[in-house]
Structure 1
């Protein structure tokens, strides 16, 4: 179907070269090998611990090599996120003739990045600031605690599916080792409705545009802040985020270098976007050159309109940022009310389906010969109905 329907198969990836993604990488490799059309991979990255860029997992080595080989048979080069991934691939035999470092295209979501400057000279305890957290990084718990207490207008922006379940249904993401890990409904940020979950990049950046500062460990949470025009600082804990920060000149500090009592005011002071602003024209030129090298048209090419898609998207009715179940504003409370209505309607629909199945079973039972046993499938269906009741 892909061969017959499409002209080009483009695969945007993130940190796909990691053990947990091996199954998906193998499936992608099988698909690519069956394609007769050009294939282009944009922004793939590897994931390693800081200080370790070796290809020590032989199974992963094999899977990555198979994927690279399949793609390069159908493309001019592979676009990777940063220098750490390029070095990793070079160990596997893929050099500069196979690989182009292009960073992450999300930086260009709004077109050529505008210069980013601070809107205020310093932060106060009443400053509106946003925070992103990788909940599996325990070192962040102390930072979450101190800033939750110190900054009354701080908002936490979670990004995982399990976080969304917590926001919408009150399902604790996990039993945290620390009560200050923001993954449960007893966390002060949840109870005080100081969490917001984004469902779309546009509403995400629109929401962040009113903040004065953003900091945290999520790379795309940081990029969302940049796209919103908010000075944002990345707390780096692995090569996956470090290589993007280095390539795009996004301000960052190593998490291991921070004191546990670090204050956002100090982070704000060291956030300087002069290198980032100067870097972006070169980064955009590299990205568009990679696209053209691989035969992909783009909105930055002379004669193309880079704003057409944005104009169409501006008319879309997108859902707002998701509040917690402790929503204090009318919009959040109406969202919760609609969730309850949807649950009630779904329960009624399930009841109607069960009733219709029961009627069919009754008719089937009445029509079958007395000595003929009820089919196994009907028995199983009956058991499922009883479980629903």
Structure 2
């Protein structure tokens, strides 16, 4: 980074029209809780992926694709000059992207993909659905380089014969400011007020399911006695509890409490468990609100990558609990403090690792990552600009749209 770390990166496409397809970028403000969750792509963490790339790009006009039925693929180039894809876990044996491959193959616009990831387990056979493999090859053919989350995903694509990849991490960190990085490097985590997150509903793709379960359950039983808040992303029973309480449905809330407690191997009849679940669960449908909340915390820890990214964007130190290859490759790339749940980790050890978290390696690595981002953009024919922090001008409302109306 130049000028004494006073600048950050912006993607620059002067005069161009960018069509976004992929992770959402805007706050969800209407509907009940289940409807809001569905609007995020069934995981609130997706908001950070789209938000980072959407707001990190300057161009003449940008909008999310209104749906494949709204604009014929053959006419997409009349509306847009580039398709920007804030990607997630597309490289998986259960993912079917046939419709997407068919649509974009008929279009004429370049494809720019940032953040592609895989959750295939180590040693597991990669058996992608034909439509998904066609879509990945289309990304390779229509773009100068495919941006992947880490070395693991790069290797999966390499074995498929896709070689034009760049290891870029996740676009959720594109808007991280130098002053925030400096704050993280100087941070001292504490247990004064902590945010916790869990992945108790996705243990099927963990590196070691037994160790992960034991580690998360031990941590839960510890944090209910701290000044802690449980931040959700897509945990169904916990979401159902929040929804029931929002509707003042005491019967529904009482019915779901034991289900949540059972996930953490505790009794739902315990007063401390009930009090924590009823009073300390939170969920956010706005990146700004989420990051703002994390700014009030003294630390964050858990196995949700974007739950901890929310903390980093606020300058709050986090300990990433690694349970799958997606999180591992990102943590290794970013050099953030992390602990691999490949065994039953006692809660006290987890807390000790949190309190010892050192973000100076991350600060040094982030400078190098910014340079890789610039090279990645150049490989895709995109421009980049180093903007002095605090010198940004407000974006004109006409430049950004939630969706284009055909």
Task: Give the TM-score, by structure 2 length.
Answer: 0.66
Q: Does 1:201 align with 2:287?
A: yes
Residue number in structure 2 paired with 1:217: 303
Residue of 254, 259, 278 corresponding to 2:364: 278
Residue number in structure 1 paired with 2:166: 100
Residue number in structure 2 paired with 1:315: none
CA deviation after TM superposition for structure 1 residue 169, in Å = 2.9
Q: 1:304 to 1:142 in 2, by over 3 A?
A: closer
Distance in 2 (CA, whole Å) between partners of 1:134 and 1:226 is: 19
Residue number in structure 2 paired with 1:58: 127
Distance in 2 (CA, whole Å) between partners of 1:83 and 1:204 is: 29
Q: 1:4 to 1:181 in 2, by over 3 A?
A: farther
The structure where helix makes up a greater share of residues is 1
Q: Do the aligned partners of 1:44 and 1:79 also contact (CA within 8 Å) in 2?
A: yes
Distance in 2 (CA, whole Å) between partners of 1:304 and 1:73 is: 36
Residue number in structure 1 paired with 2:330: 244
Distance in 2 (CA, whole Å) between partners of 1:189 and 1:28 is: 45
Q: Does 1:134 align with 2:206?
A: no
Q: Within 5 A, what are the aligned runs for 1:303-318?
A: 307-308=392-393
1:275-319 per-position Cα deviation (integer Å, ceiling 9, x unaligned): 101011110121132123213345x3469997335898xxxxxxx
CA deviation after TM superposition for structure 1 residue 260, in Å = 2.8
Distance in 2 (CA, whole Å) between partners of 1:107 and 1:229 is: 12
Q: 1:211 to 1:279 in 2, by over 3 A?
A: same
1:51-70 per-position Cα deviation (integer Å, ceiling 9, x unaligned): x155x14344x444311222
Q: Does 1:144 align with 2:183?
A: no
Distance in 2 (CA, whole Å) between partners of 1:8 and 1:185 is: 55
Q: 1:306 to 1:31 in 2, by over 3 A?
A: farther
Q: 1:301 to 1:270 in 2, by over 3 A?
A: closer
Q: Does 1:73 align with 2:73?
A: no
Residue of 230, 238, 241 corresponding to 1:166: 241
Distance in 2 (CA, whole Å) between partners of 1:196 and 1:4 is: 43
Q: Do the aligned partners of 2:195 and 2:229 also contact (CA within 8 Å) in 1?
A: yes
Q: Does 1:235 align with 2:321?
A: yes
Residue number in structure 1 paired with 2:100: 28
Q: 1:279 to 1:309 in 2, by over 3 A?
A: farther
In terms of Rg, which structure is larger? 1
Q: Do the aligned partners of 1:135 and 1:181 also contact (CA within 8 Å) in 2?
A: no
Gap regions ≥5 residues in structure 1: 313-389
CA deviation after TM superposition for structure 1 residue 270, in Å = 3.0
Q: 1:232 to 1:185 in 2, by over 3 A?
A: farther
Gap regions ≥5 residues in structure 2: 1-70, 204-212, 246-251, 398-406
Q: 1:118 to 1:303 in 2, by over 3 A?
A: closer
SS of alignment partner, residue 215 of structure 1: strand
CA deviation after TM superposition for structure 1 residue 130, in Å = 0.9
Q: Does 1:18 align with 2:18?
A: no
Distance in 1 (CA, whole Å) between partners of 2:258 and 2:393 is: 43
Distance in 2 (CA, whole Å) between partners of 1:28 and 1:173 is: 40
Q: Which moved more, 1:133-142 or 1:193-202?
A: 133-142
CA deviation after TM superposition for structure 1 residue 233, in Å = 0.6
Q: Do the aligned partners of 1:33 and 1:70 also contact (CA within 8 Å) in 2?
A: yes
Distance in 1 (CA, whole Å) between partners of 2:357 and 2:147 is: 29
Q: Which has the higher contact order (CA 8 A, sep 6+)?
A: 2
Give the length in aligned residue pairs.
297
Q: Do the aligned partners of 2:299 and 2:317 also contact (CA within 8 Å) in 1?
A: yes
Distance in 2 (CA, whole Å) between partners of 1:132 and 1:268 is: 14
Q: Do the aligned partners of 1:81 and 1:102 also contact (CA within 8 Å) in 2?
A: yes
SS of alignment partner, residue 43 of structure 1: strand
The structure where strand makes up a greater share of residues is 2
Distance in 2 (CA, whole Å) between partners of 1:254 and 1:191 is: 26
Distance in 1 (CA, whole Å) between partners of 2:198 and 2:347 is: 16
Residue number in structure 1 paired with 2:259: 175
